[in-house]
Structure 1
Amino acid sequence: MTRTSRPATAAALLPLVGGPANVTSVAHCMTRLRLGLADRSLVDEDALRALPAVLGVVDDDTYQIVLGPGAAARVTADFEALLATAAPGPDVPGAAPAPAETGAAGAEEGTRHRTATPGKLLLRRVANIFVPLIPALVGCGVIAGANGLLVNLRLLPSLTPALTAVSSGFLALIAVFVGHNTAKEFGGTPVLGGAVAAVVVYPGVAQVTVAGTPLAPGRGGVLGALAAALLATRVEKWCRGRVPQALDVLVTPTLTVLVPGLLTLYALMYAAGEVSSAIGTAANWLLATTGVLAGLLLGGLFLPLVMLGLHQALIPVHATLIEQQGYTVLLPLLAMAGAGQVGAAAAVYVRLRHDHSLRTTIRSALPAGLLGVGEPLIYGVSLPLGRPFATACVGGAAGGAFVGLFAMLGDRVGATAIGPSGWALFPLLAGNRGLGQAAAVYAGGLLTGYAVGFAATYAFGFGFGVGSGSGGKAAPDRPSVP
């Protein structure tokens, strides 16, 4: 998307979602503009899907418009700028953010929270804590990978220490950002959540002894930071309701930092450290002993998990593994789901040669799919057709089993950041036997996913006679994209 087209895209989106007065919140993840809407009946979804920049839409707790990596952040900024220029008033959000939603927007949000399951609400909140951290993880991961290559090749030795500092600084303090986002998500003061979480990574905790043993800075990692910030939020809310207003500015912040801070040092860091260690041990054991089966299940089930939003539960697990080991061994397995999706789409393109509209969709979405952005292919191709979605999962399972097999043979492949997949993951790869070996295993998994996804879809993804010579004059009926 060009720079000149971004404002035009934002301007085209705004009236189609009901105008400024209908927008209650604006956010984005790596690929989607996420909108809170007061009245979703005002959305012209057909016109939205027809916009060239829109890759798909998802109606969930927020109304999500799929724009692709990079484009989502830029269009969001233009969209917010348009809202800021709208005449301020009681029906125009953004003029003055409120701590809680009211009116129609609040009613809709409350209804959605009441009808959603507690588990799904928890996963959304976990995602809201960790997803904003992904751009920094990606950037630092790429720099770390480039630095590792320079070190191995013994190039620019005077620069590599500086690159190490640049790439490692964020991970050294990621607990602070997790604490900040946790407090923000659960209704506390973000900076107080960050302050309490900072205790986890403060080097001076080595002077504190618990049961006669000095604490290790960083013990508990992101899980300890999350628990500390949650506790701080509870203490802050308790204080707000009981401390006299005249003393609130002094007493509430002090107790919010002091009480959770001490509990973090003497209990939470130890407990979270045990959980974090168990996660790392379990992941390594799982791949070393049941790598093929683990890869088969993770690669095959990831697309359905994404559809249900359950993949968000893995975000803190990835973050914990990256913090502990320098990379997450789970992401390359999960990325194979995208490879199966690409293979399935290629088979649909070959078989349904008379469906020019569908083939046009595949041609436009396939490059994004190769780079790990699967929504256009999922919502525009495989899911509406039905069977190709299932055969795409078969391809993902095969790719995952391939990578898992090498893990059983001692070749662990990991990613230094979460977010990208497909070809975009190559700059972020790492492994116990070097970058070259990790890249070779990952590439083999992708090729396996492509091939099996294509073969399974070509053979079993269609009804009898579809796309076979003169008997396949048209594609099967396709339901509307959800």
Structure 2
Amino acid sequence: MSPDKNRATAAAILPLVGGPDNITSIAHCMTRLRIGLRDRGLVQDEALRALPAVMGVVEDDTYQIVLGPGAVARVTPEFEALVEEGRAQPAAAPPVTAPPVTAGELQARGAALKEAQKARNASPFKLLLRRVANIFVPLIPALIGCGVIAGLNGMLTNLGLLPGVVPALAAMASGFMSLIAVFVGYNTAKEFGGTAILGGAVAAIIVFPGVAKITAFGLELRPGQGGVLGALAAALLAVYVEKWCRRWVPDALDVLVTPTLTILVSGLVTLFGLMFLAGQASAAIGTFATWLLSHGGAFAGLVLGGLFLPLVMLGLHQALIPLHTTLIEQSGHTVLLPILAMAGAGQVGAAIAVYCRLPRNGSLRGTIKSALPAGFLGVGEPLIYGVSLPLGRPFVTACVGGAAGGAFVGLFNQLGASFGSTAIGPSGWALFPLLDGTAGMGPTIAIYGGGLAVGYLVGFVATYFFGFTQQMLTDLNTDPDPDPAAPPAPEPSKAPVLA
């Protein structure tokens, strides 16, 4: 997308979310522009969904506009600039906007479902999970880049090629991971209202080589012990110590005493408590994941693959990032991500089945055609919110496809062909460059590709035969503006009656 198109997309979005004065915060993750709103009622949902660059919208703690990987990182700065420019201009009469574009009954159902989910999702526990996710989401681009370089480095090492380049690639791939605790500490303090650099300073203690000279609980500490979990806990403690100091330390001494006490108190607790405890927790996560897939791989894969789409629907999937990151720290890859990626395969298969079953619904078929490329690359929100979730049954059958693909990958893990992803973020076809396993690259790629194929096939078959009732087919297989390339619809009396 060219710079002009990026700015045009941002300019099209801004008035539909209430203009600059209605924006309280702007951020983005891998695929979504996340906006804080003063007045939710000023947002024109259907008009937003009708924009060519918008794949869907998600209602959560922030208003999230799905733009897709890459595009969101380019549109967000333009959107921020337009908001700043709009706030700097004198107030003017509100512009006359075109009436909202109606995208159809399915999108209205999807919006209603998201509103209900938002209300159910406001529990303190789920809000805490989202805050934890906000700590790790900004790290994903670096995790992806370093993961791809690590995969390239491994391939060159195995093939014996470019031996002079391999050490340089190893440094690029490992440098960020060796200091990831510092970035986690920085983001944790920032997210929970502390001074970000103090959170990073406390977390840096964990990766300092000199901790190897310190004994806690009768054992010598190891640099990096506790990893991202220890960094998160240490920085959170630093936030509370800092806030206590801000309340009680006189203003004249604050600049000297507060940072000193924050690092001193939090650092001592980290060295003589948190590093050991977080290290034990991290080891337990790795041990459990390995045991789960080696002893119950097929069943575990079925459950994980089948339940992941609902987590994505609820916006809670990013709460798994600390677990993935911990596994990558320990073994170089996360065995969970390839299994969870099968949920996207089931979603793609289900969407293709919907496309085939509703040949006269040009509007829905157009949505599917525009969202499928992103779906193959693992971006599932457009298909979830634009197709399967509003329809109901196809969402369930998509989960069935994800469960089948997860069981396939889990079975091979159980048989000894363990593999995972060297980074988090991508899934679908985009995960191939990040795969790493004990059985070699060839078998690893074949198993993952086989899992995707199973997910596509089962998601398609389950949706085609069980995703619609007769009434659904009658109601949905019409469109006032049908796809001109669509074949004639079958006679209703000849369509099979589905339960």
Same fold, TM exceeding 0.5? yes
Match of 1:402 in 2: 408
Q: Distance in 1 between matches of 2:372 and 2:493?
A: 23
1:282, CA displacement in angstroms?
Answer: 0.1
**Map 1:78-117 → 2, pairs under 5 A:** 78-88=78-88, 116-117=122-123
Match of 2:331 in 1: 325
**Map 1:274-423 → 2, pairs under 5 A:** 274-423=280-429
Letter matched to residue 67 of structure 2: L
Q: Distance in 2 between matches of 1:385 and 1:61?
A: 24
- Structure 2 counterpart SS, 1:36: strand
Q: Distance in 1 between matches of 2:140 and 2:303?
A: 25
Q: Does 1:469 align with 2:454?
A: no
Q: Distance in 2 between matches of 1:121 and 1:245?
A: 33
Cα distance 1:17–1:472, how it changes in 2: closer, same or farther (>3 A)? farther
Q: Note if contact 2:20-2:84 (Cα within 8 Å) is conserved in structure 1.
A: no
Q: Distance in 1 between matches of 2:4 and 2:439?
A: 45
Q: Distance in 1 between matches of 2:215 and 2:292?
A: 34
Q: Does 1:16 align with 2:16?
A: yes
Match of 1:74 in 2: 74
1:86, CA displacement in angstroms?
Answer: 2.4
1:90, CA displacement in angstroms?
Answer: 11
Q: Distance in 1 between matches of 2:349 and 2:28?
A: 29
Cα distance 1:167–1:90, how it changes in 2: closer, same or farther (>3 A)? farther
Match of 2:46 in 1: 46
Q: Note if contact 2:234-2:266 (Cα within 8 Å) is conserved in structure 1.
A: yes
- Structure 2 counterpart SS, 1:4: helix
Cα distance 1:315–1:91, how it changes in 2: closer, same or farther (>3 A)? farther
Q: Percent identity?
A: 71
**Map 1:76-225 → 2, pairs under 5 A:** 76-88=76-88, 116-225=122-231
- Structure 2 counterpart SS, 1:35: strand
Letter matched to residue 132 of structure 1: P
Q: Note if contact 2:20-2:87 (Cα within 8 Å) is conserved in structure 1.
A: no
Cα distance 1:45–1:292, how it changes in 2: closer, same or farther (>3 A)? same
Match of 1:95 in 2: none
Q: Distance in 2 between matches of 1:77 and 1:472?
A: 54
1:472, CA displacement in angstroms?
Answer: 7.8
Q: Note if contact 1:341-1:389 (Cα within 8 Å) is conserved in structure 2.
A: yes
Cα distance 1:90–1:136, how it changes in 2: closer, same or farther (>3 A)? farther
Q: Distance in 2 between matches of 1:313 and 1:23?
A: 25
Match of 1:430 in 2: 436
1:385, CA displacement in angstroms?
Answer: 1.0
Letter matched to residue 198 of structure 1: A
Match of 1:453 in 2: 459
Q: Note if contact 1:413-1:442 (Cα within 8 Å) is conserved in structure 2.
A: no
1:312, CA displacement in angstroms?
Answer: 2.9
1:52, CA displacement in angstroms?
Answer: 0.4
Match of 1:480 in 2: none
1:428, CA displacement in angstroms?
Answer: 0.6
Cα distance 1:194–1:452, how it changes in 2: closer, same or farther (>3 A)? same
- How many pairs align? 456
Letter matched to residue 469 of structure 1: P
Q: Distance in 2 between matches of 1:409 and 1:91?
A: 67
1:58, CA displacement in angstroms?
Answer: 1.1
1:59, CA displacement in angstroms?
Answer: 1.6
For structure 1, the residue ranges without an aligned partner over 5 or more in a row are: 93-111, 475-482
Match of 1:251 in 2: 257
Q: Distance in 2 between matches of 1:349 and 1:301?
A: 24
Q: Note if contact 2:16-2:48 (Cα within 8 Å) is conserved in structure 1.
A: yes
Match of 1:261 in 2: 267
1:366, CA displacement in angstroms?
Answer: 0.6
Q: Note if contact 2:404-2:455 (Cα within 8 Å) is conserved in structure 1.
A: yes
CA displacement 1:423-442 (0-9 Å, x = unmatched)? 00001111122222211110
Q: Distance in 2 between matches of 1:211 and 1:31?
A: 44
TM-score, normalised on structure 2? Answer: 0.89
Match of 2:104 in 1: none
Q: Note if contact 1:228-1:268 (Cα within 8 Å) is conserved in structure 2.
A: yes
Q: Distance in 2 between matches of 1:363 and 1:471?
A: 25
CA displacement 1:249-279 (0-9 Å, x = unmatched)? 0000001001110111111000000000000
Root-mean-square deviation (CA, aligned residues, Å) is 2.0
Cα distance 1:136–1:6, how it changes in 2: closer, same or farther (>3 A)? same
Q: Distance in 2 between matches of 1:472 and 1:18?
A: 48
1:360, CA displacement in angstroms?
Answer: 1.0
- Structure 2 counterpart SS, 1:205: helix
For structure 2, the residue ranges without an aligned partner over 5 or more in a row are: 93-117, 478-488
1:13, CA displacement in angstroms?
Answer: 0.7
1:2, CA displacement in angstroms?
Answer: 3.3
CA displacement 1:276-305 (0-9 Å, x = unmatched)? 000000000000000011000000010011
Q: Distance in 1 between matches of 2:146 and 2:17?
A: 35
Q: Distance in 2 between matches of 1:417 and 1:314?
A: 13
Of 206-215 and 376-385, deviating more is 206-215
- Structure 2 counterpart SS, 1:57: strand
Of 427-436 and 65-74, deviating more is 427-436
- Structure 1 counterpart SS, 2:58: strand
Cα distance 1:392–1:87, how it changes in 2: closer, same or farther (>3 A)? closer
Q: Distance in 1 between matches of 2:124 and 2:382?
A: 29
CA displacement 1:68-105 (0-9 Å, x = unmatched)? 0111111111001112222449999xxxxxxxxxxxxx
- Structure 2 counterpart SS, 1:247: helix
Letter matched to residue 457 of structure 2: A
Letter matched to residue 124 of structure 1: R
Cα distance 1:91–1:276, how it changes in 2: closer, same or farther (>3 A)? farther
1:114, CA displacement in angstroms?
Answer: 12
Q: Distance in 1 between matches of 2:137 and 2:217?
A: 36
Q: Note if contact 1:318-1:328 (Cα within 8 Å) is conserved in structure 2.
A: yes
Cα distance 1:473–1:82, how it changes in 2: closer, same or farther (>3 A)? farther
Letter matched to residue 470 of structure 1: E
CA displacement 1:312-371 (0-9 Å, x = unmatched)? 331111110011110000000100000000000111111111111111111111111000
- Structure 1 counterpart SS, 2:333: coil
Of 170-179 and 357-366, deviating more is 357-366
Q: Distance in 1 between matches of 2:249 and 2:119?
A: 30
CA displacement 1:102-154 (0-9 Å, x = unmatched)? xxxxxxxxxx9999211111111011101111010000000100111111111
CA displacement 1:133-182 (0-9 Å, x = unmatched)? 10100000001001111111111100010000011000000000000000
